[in-house]
């Protein structure tokens, strides 16, 4: 470095000294960061819906009335294996599911149904934000997973419960990187896709909140979007989503799809233990405490939620 550029730096420093110290921005930045991480970690179905809307398509959740991919969806669902797992039996002993029971059932089920190369599954330690993430240990890459589950809501038109979730239909709706699907059992359908997941769109959205969607460029994704593999499993009574990505997906350095393939995730959906998990999940969806309110970091006011409180018990019975 020559003396001339040292002079440039010194001159700038002299001018900056005249400004005095800047404001303390750390508390507000932390509060906003907490909200953003929390939204990411919720990772509910809204994420994919937003991706689909960005591609000019219908949301991939529950609307639409395309041809059924297979199976008889008119009947109440049953699991393919009538004998419950040990974890499931324990969780439903008293007919209700506590948060601890649900987390343990998810953990043990993921450990049982994910390919063995990923090793054991643990729940990630609690953060200031909601922490219902699970991580594999002992294999590479390390995966993190979130299981979201819900019955169909009263507000949803039963005649339009099933969107056309086939890979072909999704591919028409948006750019699709990879997809696998299967109809199995008595009215079950599973589809797994690799998608770019937008940040901050997975959780409860504030009423009237607008999501800013950058121009989509698959070769150059926005810095804080990430690839994830998403498994959606549904039948007449319930819909579940499993989001799988590499551990730490909310960083921006890596954005590649996780190591697990869409075919492997569709196979996971057909495991009896996974269907047992969904039965516990149906009760959990009914029993779970309402999500903690989000607070606007600027005003301190609670952000109104559009989540529908008046849910109905899903007709999921053996």
Partner 1 sequence: MAGQGRTEGFSNWAEQAQQRLYRQGVLLTGDTHAARDLVQATLVKMYVAWPRIDTPGAYAHRIMVRTFLEGRRREQRERELHRSVDVVRLDGDPAHALTIRDALAELAPRMRAVVVLRYWEDLSVEQTAAALGCSTGNVKSTASRGLDRLRVLLGDAFSERVTTPTEEN
The binding site for partner 1 (CB under 8 A) comprises 1-5, 7-9, 11-12, 15-16, 19, 21-26, 28-30, 32-34, 36-37, 40, 127-128, 199, 223-224, 248, 250-253
Distance CA 274, CA 203 (A): 24
Q: How far is the CB of 6 from partner 1 (least distance, A)?
A: 9
Residue number with CB closer to partner 1 (5 or 116): 5
Task: Give Cα 105 to chain centroid, integer Å.
Answer: 18
> Cβ 92 to partner 1, closest distance in Å?
35
Q: In whole angstroms, what separates CA 149 from the centre of its chain?
A: 10
DSSP bridge pairs for 206: 305
In the complex, the smallest distance separating the C-beta of residue 36 from partner 1, rounded to whole angstroms, is 5
CB of 81 or CB of 296, closer to partner 1: 296
Smallest gap from residue 238 Cβ to partner 1 (A): 32
Instruction: Collect all residues with Cβ–Cβ distance below 8 Å to 123 and sequence separation of at least 6.
Output: 103, 107, 131, 132, 133, 134, 135
Q: How far is the CB of 28 from partner 1 (least distance, A)?
A: 7
Q: Is 280 helix (H, G, I), strand (E, B) or coil?
A: helix
Q: Which is nearer to partner 1, 83 or 126 (CB)?
A: 126
What is the secondary structure of 181-218 as a DSSP string? EEEETTTEEEEEEEEEEPTT-SSPPBTT----PPPP-T
Q: Using an 8 Å Cβ cutoff, are 268 and 167 in contact? A: no
Q: Which of 22, 290 has the CB closer to partner 1?
A: 22
Question: Which tokens sit at 184?
Answer: 């199995």
Partnered with residue 230 across adjacent β-strands are 193, 243
Cβ 253 to partner 1, closest distance in Å? 6
């Amino acid at each position: 470095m020559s003396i001339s550029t040292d002079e440039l730096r010194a001159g700038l420093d002299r001018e900056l000294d005249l400004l005095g110290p800047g404001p303390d921005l750390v508390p507000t930045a932390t509060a906003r960061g907490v909200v953003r991480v929390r939204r990411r970690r919720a990772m509910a179905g809204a994420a994919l819906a937003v991706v689909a809307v960005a591609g000019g398509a219908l949301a991939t959740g529950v609307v639409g009335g395309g041809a059924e991919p297979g199976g008889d969806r008119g009947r109440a669902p049953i699991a393919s294996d009538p004998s419950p797992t040990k974890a499931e039996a324990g969780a439903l002993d008293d007919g209700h599911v506590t948060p601890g029971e649900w987390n343990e059932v998810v953990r043990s089920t993921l450990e049982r149904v994910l390919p063995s190369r990923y090793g054991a599954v643990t729940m990630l330690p609690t953060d200031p934000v909601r922490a219902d993430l699970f991580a594999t240990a002992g294999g590479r890459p390390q995966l993190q997973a979130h299981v979201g589950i819900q019955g169909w809501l009263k507000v949803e038109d039963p005649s339009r419960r099933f969107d056309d979730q086939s890979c072909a239909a999704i591919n028409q709706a948006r750019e699709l990187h990879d997809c696998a699907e299967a109809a199995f059992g008595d009215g079950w359908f599973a589809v797994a896709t690799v998608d770019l997941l937008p940040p901050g769109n997975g959780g409860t959205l504030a009423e009237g909140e607008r999501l800013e969607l950058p121009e989509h460029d698959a070769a150059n994704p926005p810095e804080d979007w990430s690839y994830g593999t998403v498994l959606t499993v549904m039948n007449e009574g319930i819909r579940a989503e499993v989001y799988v990505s590499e551990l730490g997906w909310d960083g921006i350095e890596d954005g590649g799809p996780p190591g697990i393939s869409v075919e492997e995730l569709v196979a996971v959906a057909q495991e009896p233990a996974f269907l047992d998990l969904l039965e516990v999940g149906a009760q959990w969806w009914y029993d779970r405490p309402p999500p903690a309110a989000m607070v606007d970091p600027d005003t301190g006011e609670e952000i109104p939620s559009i989540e529908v409180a008046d849910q109905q018990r899903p007709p999921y019975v053996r």
